[in-house]
Structure 1
Amino acid sequence: MSVSARKDPKSVEPGMLVRLMPSPMARGLLLAVTAGVFFQCLNATVKLLVADMPPLFVAWGRWTMGLLLIAPFLLAGAGLKAVRTSQIHLHGLRAVFHTTGYVLWYLAVALIPLAEAAALGFSGPIFVAAGAALFLGETVGPRRWLAVIVGFVGVLIIVRPGFVALNWGTVMMLASVPVVAASNLVAKKLTARDSPQVIVFWQSVLATLCFLPFAILDWHLPTWTQLGWLLLAAVFGQMGYLLMTSAYRLADISAVQPTVFLGIVWAGLFDFFLFGRSADLATFAGAAIIVASTSVIAHREALAARRQRG
């Protein structure tokens, strides 16, 4: 898959990136880290929006704007042929997982700080690594398991279960994690035949349709300012999914997932500068462990890919 991904004319990777980083694994990890920044920008924008708008209307609005952004570029010229897929059943399955997981996520993010939301989401790689081994046939080596486990220890230090009372936001965020992990596993399966652009297009179409009933039940007429924020959320979200789906084409999903641990850094910064919350010592200690585990796995995987080319 790595070689075909490098030569795929539909790849979102710049040619200069391929020349500077010949290793597909290294490029995959870099794209995943960059996607994480966009996703945390999306999370911060959504948190600002749900302060004044119904969370599930925001979810529908974000996907509707995203579809309006991506559709003209993909359909120009070739029309529907540009987004033809033989895996519509898998796209539909992913839409079920994605909608279920993110209904819980959008409700939760209105109730808890971004850093806590990011920390709770870090349990996702446990489910993804296990699912990749069980359902995708990937070889999950000891280095990857160790990175996931060490990173999750950092998450436990931040969340401190048993010492801090759980609220409904925390419970819903925890419930969303395995469902979102299932959506990511289906996305990895889709990359075998579909380009990242096609995958994000169908994700946008189906998510818009799936979230529409929730939006109708809690309809809100947005102001022009709120429409602008929804558009910004769509840009962040679509870029994040394009980059992450491209990362899945280049690297095993179990190798990519530990990079999401870096999200605690971006989430903590947004909490401080946008919402006036500062992380405590436990958050910084847990984040340090998380970043260290992510850095080690990225370095080890790059070295392994270099030896394989040699």
Structure 2
Amino acid sequence: MLASGLSFVGVTGIVRYLGTDLPAAQSAFVRFGWGVVFLAPTLVPMLRGGLPGLYLPLHLGRGLVHVAAVVCWFYAMARIPVAEVTAIGYLNPVLLTLGTVVFFGERLSLRRVLAIGVALIGALIVLRPGLREVTDGHIAQICAAVFFAGSYLFAKRLSMVASAGQIVAMLSLVVTLALAPWALWVWVPMSLAQLAWLAVVAACATAGHYCMSRAFAAAPIAVSQPVVFLQLIWAALLGWAVFGEAVDLFVLIGGAVIVGSVSYITWAESRKRRRDLVPEVL
């Protein structure tokens, strides 16, 4: 999960650098098209062998949810500071927690309820509605967080029945096909430099998704997800050093509140699981 986070920071920096010259749907389509090229050695034999019927609906469902997520993310990334995109993205673990309760039958303990409430307060500190303008970029990133959480729930389910390579390869294929009509509708001419940068985005993102799929297969979401919080530090440094973005104290405080709430619940539930494994002495 640490390697996944580093990869996605690379994605964030490059997309911020490319700015608003390309429509979000076109940028996302080219990025995933490169992903299909990179993953062709995995995709071709997999498609020749066919997919069991149970897997295909899961791959299709994840791909469609992910399309909405990446378009919203590309739109937000070009319009609001890197650190704010990252901090708002920390809503993912909160939404994942709710999703695992609804779809995987996990118990919603009092600790989880309190952690969710504190995390939402952290999100309000980042956004500060009423004290500053909440732009369409902020709204797009909130929508992206919701859709990404849905995509990660599909990924968690797929990790039980498919390999990490298959999960990532099918994601790239389904998202590319789904984005194609939308991208062609808004297409604008692009330079070779833009095409090359989006290839680097695809390489970083593909590595990030692969590492994330391996992490989901190796450990519960509650264990793997908090590691991504290190991205806030890297994102803030990237925005300051490369793009001249001021380090917003409220963004750091809000991100820290979310980090603390989810990290606490992860630690507390880990302790409880260890206690439950200790045999009772009669």
TM-score, normalisation: structure 1:
0.78
The size of the alignment, in residue pairs, is 277
- Correspondence 1:164 to 2:145: no
Q: Which moved more, 1:60-69 or 1:126-135?
A: 126-135
- Correspondence 1:227 to 2:231: no
Q: Quick one: which amino acid aligns to residue 131 of structure 1?
A: G
Q: Quick one: which amino acid aligns to residue 203 of structure 1?
A: L
- Two-structure CA RMSD over aligned residues (Å): 2.6
Q: 1:148 to 1:270 in 2, by over 3 A?
A: farther
Deviation of 1:284 after TM superposition, in Å, equals 2.9
Within a 5 Å distance, the mapping from 1:251-270 to structure 2 comes to: 251-270=219-238
Question: What is the aligned partner in structure 2 of residue 35 from structure 1?
Answer: 4
> Residues 132 and 254 of structure 1 are in contact (CA less than 8 Å); yes or no, is this contact kept in structure 2?
no
Question: What is the aligned partner in structure 1 of residue 217 from structure 2?
Answer: 249
Residues of 2 paired with 1:104 and 1:37: CA distance?
21
Residue-by-residue CA offset, 1:217-273 (whole Å, 9 max, x unaligned): 122343222222111101111011111112211222344334433332222112112
Deviation of 1:193 after TM superposition, in Å, equals 0.5
Residues of 1 paired with 2:204 and 2:155: CA distance?
18
Within a 5 Å distance, the mapping from 1:101-140 to structure 2 comes to: 101-140=69-108
Deviation of 1:152 after TM superposition, in Å, equals 4.0
- Correspondence 1:84 to 2:66: no
Question: What is the aligned partner in structure 2 of residue 19 from structure 1?
Answer: none
Q: Quick one: which amino acid aligns to residue 41 of structure 1?
A: G
Residues of 2 paired with 1:141 and 1:266: CA distance?
32
Q: Quick one: which amino acid aligns to residue 124 of structure 1?
A: N
Residue-by-residue CA offset, 1:72-96 (whole Å, 9 max, x unaligned): 2x257x5535773441111111122
Q: Quick one: which amino acid aligns to residue 237 of structure 1?
A: A
Question: What is the aligned partner in structure 2 of residue 62 from structure 1?
Answer: 31
Residues of 2 paired with 1:186 and 1:233: CA distance?
23
Residues of 1 paired with 2:26 and 2:220: CA distance?
34
Q: Quick one: which amino acid aligns to residue 66 of structure 1?
A: G
> Residues 264 and 287 of structure 1 are in contact (CA less than 8 Å); yes or no, is this contact kept in structure 2?
yes
Residues of 2 paired with 1:197 and 1:308: CA distance?
34
Within a 5 Å distance, the mapping from 1:196-207 to structure 2 comes to: 196-207=164-175
> Residues 200 and 238 of structure 1 are in contact (CA less than 8 Å); yes or no, is this contact kept in structure 2?
yes
Percent identity (aligned): 33
Residues of 1 paired with 2:222 and 2:10: CA distance?
24
Q: Quick one: which amino acid aligns to residue 80 of structure 1?
A: L
> Residues 108 and 173 of structure 1 are in contact (CA less than 8 Å); yes or no, is this contact kept in structure 2?
yes
Q: 1:247 to 1:305 in 2, by over 3 A?
A: farther
TM-score, normalisation: structure 2:
0.85
> Residues 45 and 233 of structure 1 are in contact (CA less than 8 Å); yes or no, is this contact kept in structure 2?
yes
Q: Which moved more, 1:184-193 or 1:120-129?
A: 120-129
Residues of 2 paired with 1:244 and 1:147: CA distance?
23
Q: Quick one: which amino acid aligns to residue 63 of structure 1?
A: F
Question: What is the aligned partner in structure 2 of residue 239 from structure 1?
Answer: 207
Unaligned runs of 5+ in 2: none
Residues of 1 paired with 2:72 and 2:267: CA distance?
34
Residues of 2 paired with 1:145 and 1:270: CA distance?
33
